Amino acid sequence: MKKLTRFATPLVAVAMLSTAPLFVHAQNSPKGNNQAQSQDWNTPPAGTEQEQQGYRDGIEAAKLDQAAKRKIDAKASHLYVHPPVKGQARDAYRNGFTGGYEAALKHQTSGM
């Protein structure tokens, strides 16, 4: 029995170590696809700097509202009501903010 253990243990170890690269490869392949998908929804669409900033802020606001269990409404958010930009850029910021907020909500519900 002792000879069998001496022979079987290294054999099992070699078998386990030889399959490890296959598992690593399998884990890395889907990750690239998920990363590309996640970049699609959280990358601001083309537009003005204010729209892009609004989009990013909308994503963060949606995450914070969900975490704090506040009312889920982009137009009730502090940054929508009081945007950090002035003048005509407010409308562009608010459009981007609403888009980012909705994208984050859609991603959260489809991700679960």
pLDDT in tens, the chain (112 residues): 777 677 677 767 766 777 656 555 555 555 545 555 555 776 777 778 888 899 999 999 999 998 888 888 898 898 989 899 988 899 999 999 999 999 998 887 665 4
Q: Residue 103: CA atoms inside 13 Å, Cβ hemisphere, count?
A: 22
pLDDT at 47: 76
pLDDT at 97: 92
Q: Indicate the number of domains in the chain.
A: 1
User: Which residues form the domain of 33?
Assistant: 2-111
pLDDT at 24: 53
Helices (H), 1-112: 2-42, 49-67, 78-81, 89-111
Q: How far apart are CA 92 and CA 63, in angstroms?
A: 21
- Can you give the pTM of this predicted structure? 0.61
pLDDT at 20: 57
